């Protein structure tokens, strides 16, 4: 017999078995968790024809000659590569992502099976079972302690009656996290401008009139100092009543022709002889001499009064005189034309147009302060209108007025009065002009004085309370016995007591006025700040809350700490004393207010008592001091009859302090005692009792894990508490760690148990026992059971199942190669048969 027949027969056998494996694989292509099988062939014993020899000195080695006797099936191994996952949306469908097997209970008590097919469900008794009814193994949470029993052997997963409800738990701890926004505006109360009489050093550009109108003088604005020309006035400085210079000079336009009785007489400015003149009085004297000469008697008197030349016939001793006309210097001739007339009676009198002395000065160039303006006016009038040193102008800082004094001798007829005195601005507006001259125009007789209206300026911190004016220039009316009192409120709470500030305090020595004290606006600022509890130890701290009058244009400006809770609710002023204080009350009766914004963050949290009743806990964060990063936390409850209080502060409020970078720093009582940890008691006022020692967590020092400060939008981002009411089980799900999670009607999420996974040293050694399960063998080794995600165990995916890992394309290729192997072996048999047939035919 030919050996090839037997070899081919073995080949047919192993390829048939391979086809059997392929058929099984393909039949389970849609079996959940199925692992494909793979056949492994090996050759049979070979017959040795000749053994090999080693090499000699002259002959090389010979290889052995062997003829194989066929093949046998070495083994059928399982391929444990992961199959693809498919989504089922069934929560109890589980697949393993990675290595491991679900552990199932077998038919007997200590029998365990292992599978990758996770098509599980809960039966009527709460057992988690496979589709074949095998119980899924794991560990359950002890319903009494809540601890997972992983230190014991695995047991059936049973979500029974012990897990169908959770009892109520009273809240024991709360935490709050979020941003307290520092973008907050303070409350600002701004009162109208207070005024004070101006000093000589005050600028003309910053003072007010007696009616409280800002002085309308512009930089470089021309201002004319005017007064009626007098006999002392040089004719070259004369202007007509339309403010046009007569233009009389030594070189031109210097002659006045007067026609008297049809005869021309020439009067020359700066000329010699009887008809020469320089001053107003000089021209008057020359004209008087000429008229008396023509009349032939001393019948005429020519004088200068109130800026006019006046011709009066005082006697009728001589001939009648007619002044026909004037010519020559044109503007002077026009101004004198009213004198043209026939003088034939002793009572005949005529006057010329008014003539003025004028000098222009410029604001900001020639003068800036009020005292400099006084000097400019005095220099202009002195020697030009009045005799030198007869006119003095001073600015009295005590009254805020200009004083004009004519020191001329009232008994000296040669010394004139000051008449027609005005100051004319070039640009529009009359506040300056009307304030400089109380009677327009002003007359100051010899030996007399005149004054301007009061000039006012914006009040300053150093100003005495007794000398203040409202913004319309009315005196505030405060007297030495006046005492200012004020009350107020902050954040809706009235302050206790009354603040006060006297106007005057008499000194110890009644004979020494310098010993007396007149209190100032600075004293009032400090008193107001102290009453409202604002720090005022330094000017910068004081200005934060009671603004400087110097910096705020004379206004009283009150500013609270930033934020709505620090808003000044009101401030009322009252004056004690004997005066009439209606003006004071009118002034302080209203204010312009900037409303406070921000600085308050609130949130509410539901907590539970021992019976599971809900209660509302309200957190209210209020900015206290934005500069010191201090906030106040108040716990409140809207529940009727309920109350809440902190254990550490004996009240419902504590103070929170933050670092410069906004991170949390520490808690303290209102008195400044630091609180290392914070707890609160909530009394629901029902049968469930007080919820005691609730731990309140607001963050860690220097970190941003709780409440912290930041600009921009703020708000509480998270509140956490650990209490809950009674709840019933509504749903069960699995996470990637294989934990069984229960979802209850009270929103509690509780771990109920843990799925177990097993791994093997040699998973190919597992024995298939049907129902897509395996049993451990001595070849596979003992199962290593643990939780998913630990060791080499994979993770759990809920709502998915693992498909069979059979690869049809590979199976079909293997099927072709197996078929060809089987065919080839059959051809070996037929060929061997033909060879034997040929051999048998040799004897024929």
Over residues 755-796, the pLDDT tens digits come to 999 999 999 889 999 899 999 999 999 999 999 999 889 999
Mean pLDDT in residue range 824-835: 81
- Please indicate whether residue 221 or residue 537 has the higher confidence score (pLDDT): 221
Whether residue 488 is contained in a domain is answered as: no
Q: Do 503 and 577 fall into the same domain?
A: yes
End position of a domain, from candidates 704, 725, 746 = 725
Q: Which pLDDT score is estimated for 47?
A: 66
Q: Do 89 and 75 fall into the same domain?
A: no
φ/ψ of residue 248, rounded to 5? -80, 125
Q: Do 71 and 119 fall into the same domain?
A: no
Whether residue 325 is contained in a domain is answered as: yes
Q: What is the dihedral of CA 77, 78, 80, 82, to 10 degrees?
A: 130
Q: Do 578 and 604 fall into the same domain?
A: no
- Please indicate whether residue 815 or residue 589 has the higher confidence score (pLDDT): 815
Q: Is the pLDDT of residue 52 over 80?
A: no
Q: Do 266 and 340 fall into the same domain?
A: yes
Tell me how far CA of residue 276 lies from CA of 167, 249, 284, in angstroms: 128, 13, 11
CA–CA separation, 328 vs 267, rounded Å?
9
Q: Which pLDDT score is estimated for 11?
A: 75
Mean pLDDT in residue range 386-404: 95
Q: Is the pLDDT of residue 751 over 70?
A: yes
Q: Do 388 and 433 fall into the same domain?
A: yes
Whose tokens are 């026992």? That residue is 769
Q: Which pLDDT score is estimated for 841?
A: 83
Q: Is the pLDDT of residue 831 over 90?
A: no
- Under a CB-based contact definition with an 8 Å cutoff, are residues 139 and 152 in contact? yes
Whether residue 830 is contained in a domain is answered as: yes
- Under a CB-based contact definition with an 8 Å cutoff, are residues 780 and 123 in contact? no
Query: Three-state DSSP class for 192?
Result: strand
Q: Is the pLDDT of residue 51 over 80?
A: no
CA–CA separation, 381 vs 229, rounded Å?
10
Q: Which pLDDT score is estimated for 837?
A: 82
Whether residue 201 is contained in a domain is answered as: no
Tokens, residue 465: 């309370």
Residue 586 domain boundaries: 187-194+459-480+494-594
Q: Which pLDDT score is estimated for 232?
A: 96
Which range (282-291, 466-475, 510-519, 682-691) has the least confidence?
510-519
Q: Do 706 and 736 fall into the same domain?
A: no
Mean pLDDT in residue range 402-429: 94
Tokens, residue 342: 């026939």
CA–CA separation, 580 vs 15, rounded Å?
128
Which range (147-151, 325-329, 508-512) has the least confidence?
508-512
Mean pLDDT in residue range 225-251: 94
- Under a CB-based contact definition with an 8 Å cutoff, are residues 457 and 208 in contact? yes
Mean pLDDT in residue range 664-678: 94
CA–CA separation, 540 vs 520, rounded Å?
18
Q: Is the pLDDT of residue 310 over 90?
A: yes
Whether residue 422 is contained in a domain is answered as: yes
DSSP structure class, residue 44: -
CA–CA separation, 844 vs 839, rounded Å?
10
pLDDT bucket at 844, cuts 50 / 70 / 90: low
pLDDT bucket at 823, cuts 50 / 70 / 90: confident
Among candidate residues 635, 558, 639, 579, the one with its CA nearest the CA of residue 602: 635
End position of a domain, from candidates 544, 577, 594 = 594
Whether residue 486 is contained in a domain is answered as: no
Q: Do 470 and 590 fall into the same domain?
A: yes
End position of a domain, from candidates 327, 354, 381 = 354
Query: Three-state DSSP class for 576?
Result: strand
CA–CA separation, 75 vs 14, rounded Å?
11
pLDDT bucket at 20, cuts 50 / 70 / 90: confident
Whether residue 199 is contained in a domain is answered as: no
Q: What is the pLDDT of residues 57-83, one digit of tens each?
A: 778 888 887 777 778 777 888 888 888
Q: What is the pLDDT of residues 83-95, one digit of tens each?
A: 899 999 899 999 9
Whether residue 438 is contained in a domain is answered as: yes
Q: Which pLDDT score is estimated for 59?
A: 83
Q: Do 434 and 513 fall into the same domain?
A: no
Q: Is the pLDDT of residue 370 over 90?
A: yes
Q: Is the pLDDT of residue 838 over 60?
A: yes
Please calculate the CA angle 248-254-256 and round it to the nearest 5 degrees: 110
Q: Do 334 and 298 fall into the same domain?
A: yes
Q: Do 240 and 333 fall into the same domain?
A: yes
How many domains does the chain divide into?
6
Q: Is the pLDDT of residue 2 over 70?
A: no
Q: Is the pLDDT of residue 567 over 80?
A: yes
3-state DSSP: the chain helix, strand, coil percent, rounded to 5?
A: 15, 40, 40
The whole-chain average pLDDT of the chain stands at: 91
Mean pLDDT in residue range 215-236: 96
DSSP character string of 82-137: PPPEEE---TTBEEEESB-EEEEE-SSTT-EEEES--B-EE-TTSBEE-TTSPBBE
CA–CA separation, 448 vs 457, rounded Å?
28
Among candidate residues 570, 556, 564, 495, the one with its CA nearest the CA of residue 525: 556
DSSP structure class, residue 496: S
- Under a CB-based contact definition with an 8 Å cutoff, are residues 75 and 40 in contact? yes
Q: Is the pLDDT of residue 356 over 90?
A: yes
Q: Do 369 and 220 fall into the same domain?
A: yes
Query: Three-state DSSP class for 320?
Result: coil
CA–CA separation, 431 vs 211, rounded Å?
9
Which range (29-33, 59-63, 693-697) has the least confidence?
59-63
DSSP character string of 617-651: EEEEEEEEETTTTEEEEEEE--STT-EEEETTTTB
């Amino acid at each position: 017999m030919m050996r090839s027949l037997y070899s081919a027969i073995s080949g047919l056998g192993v390829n048939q078995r391979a086809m059997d494996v392929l058929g099984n694989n393909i039949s389970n292509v849609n079996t959940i968790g199925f692992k494909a099988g793979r056949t492994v062939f090996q050759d049979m014993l070979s017959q040795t024809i000749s053994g090999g020899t080693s090499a000699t000195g002259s002959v090389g080695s010979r290889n052995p000659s062997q003829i194989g006797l066929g093949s046998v099936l070495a083994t059928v191994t399982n391929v444990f590569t992961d199959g693809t996952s498919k989504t089922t949306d069934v929560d109890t469908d589980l697949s393993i992502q990675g290595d491991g097997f679900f552990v199932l209970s077998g038919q007997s008590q200590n029998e365990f099976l292992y599978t990758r097919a996770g098509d599980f469900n809960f039966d009527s008794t709460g057992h988690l079972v496979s589709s074949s009814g095998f119980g899924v193994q794991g560990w359950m949470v002890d319903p009494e302690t809540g601890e997972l029993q992983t230190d014991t052997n695995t047991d059936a997963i049973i979500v029974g009656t012990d897990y169908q409800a959770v009892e109520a738990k009273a809240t024991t701890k709360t935490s709050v996290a979020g941003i307290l926004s520092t973008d907050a505006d303070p409350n600002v109360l701004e009162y109208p401008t207070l005024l004070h009489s101006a000093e000589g050093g005050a600028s003309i550009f910053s003072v007010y009139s007696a009616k409280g109108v800002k002085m309308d003088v512009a930089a470089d604005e021309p201002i004319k100092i005017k007064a009626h020309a007098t006999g002392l006035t040089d004719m070259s400085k004369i202007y007509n009543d339309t403010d046009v210079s007569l233009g009389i000079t030594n070189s031109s336009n210097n002659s006045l022709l007067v026609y008297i009785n049809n005869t021309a007489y020439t009067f020359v400015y700066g000329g010699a002889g009887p008809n020469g003149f320089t001053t107003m009085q000089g021209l008057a004297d020359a004209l008087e001499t000429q008229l008396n000469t023509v009349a032939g008697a001393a019948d005429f008197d020519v004088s200068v009064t109130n800026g006019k030349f006046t011709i009066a016939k005082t006697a009728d001793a001589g001939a009648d005189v007619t002044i026909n006309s004037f010519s020559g210097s044109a503007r002077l001739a026009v101004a004198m034309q009213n004198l043209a007339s026939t003088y034939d009676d002793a009572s005949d009198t005529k006057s010329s147009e008014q003539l003025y002395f004028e000098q222009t000065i410029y604001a900001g160039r020639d003068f800036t302060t009020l005292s400099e303006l006084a000097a400019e006016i005095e220099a202009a009038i002195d020697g030009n209108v009045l005799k030198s040193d007869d006119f003095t102008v001073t600015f009295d800082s005590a009254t805020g007025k200009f004083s004009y004094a004519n020191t001329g001798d009232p008994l000296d007829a040669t010394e004139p009065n000051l008449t027609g005195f005005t100051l004319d601005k070039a640009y529009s507006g009359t506040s300056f002009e009307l304030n400089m001259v109380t009677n327009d125009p002003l007359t100051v007789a010899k030996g007399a004085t005149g004054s301007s209206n009061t000039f006012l300026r914006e009040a300053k911190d150093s100003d005495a309370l007794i000398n203040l004016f409202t913004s319309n220039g009315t005196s505030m009316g405060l007297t030495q016995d006046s005492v200012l009192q004020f009350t107020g409120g902050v954040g809706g709470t009235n302050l206790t007591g009354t603040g006060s500030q006297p106007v005057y305090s008499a000194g110890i020595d009644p004979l020494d006025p310098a010993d007396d004290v007149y209190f100032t606006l600075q004293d009032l600022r400090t008193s107001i700040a102290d009453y409202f509890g604002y720090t005022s130890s330094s000017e910068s701290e004081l200005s934060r809350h009671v603004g400087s009058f110097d910096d705020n244009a004379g206004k009283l400006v009150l500013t609270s700490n930033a934020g709505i809770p620090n808003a000044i609710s009101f401030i009322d002023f009252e004056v004690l004393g004997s005066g009439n204080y209606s003006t004071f009350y009118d002034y302080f009766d209203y204010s312009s207010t900037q409303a406070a914004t921000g600085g308050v963050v609130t949130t509410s949290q539901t907590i539970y008592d021992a019976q599971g009743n809900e209660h509302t806990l309200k957190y209210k964060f209020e900015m206290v001091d934005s500069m010191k990063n201090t906030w106040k936390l108040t716990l409140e409850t809207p529940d009727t009859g309920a109350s809440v209080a902190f254990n550490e502060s004996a009240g419902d409020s504590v103070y929170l302090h933050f670092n410069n970078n906004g991170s949390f720093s520490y808690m303290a009582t209102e008195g400044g005692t630091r609180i290392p940890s914070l707890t609160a008691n909530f009394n629901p006022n029902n049968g469930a009792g007080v919820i005691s020692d609730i731990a309140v967590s607001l963050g860690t020092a220097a970190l941003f894990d709780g409440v912290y400060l930041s600009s921009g939008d703020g708000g509480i981002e998270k509140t956490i508490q650990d209490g809950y009411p009674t709840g019933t089980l509504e749903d069960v799900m699995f996470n990637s760690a294989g934990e069984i999670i229960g979802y209850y009607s009270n929103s509690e999420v509780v771990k109920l148990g843990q799925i177990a996974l097993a791994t093997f040293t040699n998973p190919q050694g597992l024995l298939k026992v049907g129902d897509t399960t395996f049993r451990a063998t001595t070849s596979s080794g003992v199962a290593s059971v643990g939780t998913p995600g630990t060791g080499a165990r994979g993770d759990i995916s809920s709502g998915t199942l693992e498909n069979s890992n059979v690869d049809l394309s590979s199976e079909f290729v293997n099927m072709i190669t197996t078929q060809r192997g089987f065919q080839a072996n059959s051809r070996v048999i037929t060929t061997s048969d033909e060879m034997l047939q040929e051999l048998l035919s040799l004897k024929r």
